[in-house]
Amino acid sequence: MAKPPKSELPSHLPLGEKSEGRFYRKHILSVKQFTRSDVEYIFTIAEEMRTMVERVGTFDLLKGKVLANLFYEPSTRTASSFTAAMERLGGSVIPINEVRYSSVSKGESLPDTVRTLECYSDVIVLRHNETGAAATAAKYLRKPLINAGDGAGEHPTQALLDLFTIKEEIGTIDGLTITMLGDLKYGRTVHSLSRLLQMFNVKVRYVSPELLRVPEHLREELLAGNLPFSEHANLDEVLAESDVLYVTRVQKERFTDMAEYESVKDAYVITPETLTKAKEQMVLMHPLPRVGEISMDVDADPRAAYFRQMEYGMYVRMALLAMVLGKA
């Protein structure tokens, strides 16, 4: 498709030609590194990205830049949305989606693998099964690394896209009651989203089986940060007051005892019947993949936002890539 003349682009677009900005050459490891103003800035850029994609599809902001997409764990959405984000910005991607076909299978260490990819690329996206792996890898790098999920630790880009989804769907974040359901212990998206929500004026309701409650260290952090939250085992206690219901998968791969997994795996299932007790305007989210926690019969309900959530993710990742490469 031909590039539109410059005059057709929105005049307020804050996407500069110069390499600078507040995240230029910064790693994105944890949501703890962001302020509320950072988050709002990311959302402004993500909205501009959405406008641009709707107008022109692909544009040349990151032309000549290369992203190394390094995944030690399975991924559909995160890997492909980073690829789509980079390609829509005119850049290119080195995909390492299956580390078993790389030298990792020969025993190469994470520091060596990321230093290798740094020679060929401008930014590295890393998903790893160990908590803290992104921070460890970043210590060896001069170029920015983006954490795409480290074990049961964090998933900062998912949390940003989750929050962006809430903002786009409801129009505001302040004043909402946000309920998170499912695996709150191992679910890294829950950990990152909870930390981000501390910056806003919200109430959080956590619903999980006893075994999968929010980990103690996070609970202490949230108490210290004055996030108003409560914990429940029964969704009915909080469903009617929820503006957002954020459902998660029980993270089978993090369990050491499979009998424990079996005992909690089907704890909650959202069905059309569940939604009869929810607000008319509630937003139903899920980072996906789902493995039974939300019945497919719910997909046609306008409150089901999980497919839209994936699309918002691409705009947020476009914003982050542009920012760390100094083009926003």
**Cα 222–312–98 angle (5° rounding)?**
85
By C-beta, is 15 or 245 nearer to ligand NCD? 245
**Smallest gap, in angstroms, from Cβ of residue 249 to ligand NCD?**
4
Residue 9 Cβ vs ligand NCD, minimum distance, rounded to whole Å: 31
Collapsing DSSP to helix, strand or coil, 208 comes out as: coil
- Candidate list 50, 88, 167, 188; residue touching ligand NCD; CB under 6 A: 188
Binding residue for ligand NCD, selected from 30, 69, 121, 158, defined by CB under 6 A: 158
**Closer residue to ligand NCD, CB minimum distance, 317 or 327:** 317
If we measure between CA atoms, which residue out of 193, 160, 145 comes closest to residue 39?
Answer: 160
If the CB atoms of residues 52 and 304 are measured against ligand NCD, the closer one turns out to be 304
User: Which of residues 287, 304, 305, 306 is near ligand NCD by CB under 6 A?
Assistant: 287
Please report whether residue 288 would count as binding ligand NCD according to CB under 6 A. Answer: yes
- Per DSSP, what are the bridge partners of residue 126? 70, 147
Q: Is the dihedral of CA 44, 307, 298, 251 positive or negative?
A: negative
DSSP state letters, 112-152: HHHHHHHHH-SEEEEEESSTTHHHHHHTT-SS-EEEEEETT
List the one residue from 24, 58, 66, 77 that touches ligand NCD (CB under 6 A): 77
Tokens (6 digits) for 282: 């509630």
Rule CB under 6 A: which of 204-263 touch ligand NCD? Answer: 249, 251
Pair 33, 151: CB distance under 8 Å:
no
CB of 185 to ligand NCD, least distance (A): 13
Nearer to ligand NCD, 97 or 251 (CB): 251
Helix (H, G, I), strand (E, B) or coil at 219: helix
What number of chain residues touch ligand NCD (CB under 6 A)? 11
User: Sheet containing 145-150: which strands, arranged edge to edge?
Assistant: 92-96, 66-71, 123-128, 145-150
Q: Which two tokens stand for residue 117?
A: 């990819």
Q: Does 156 bind ligand NCD (CB under 6 A)?
A: no
195 binds ligand NCD (CB under 6 A): no
Binding site for ligand NCD (CB under 6 A): 77-78, 149, 155, 158, 188-189, 249, 251, 287-288
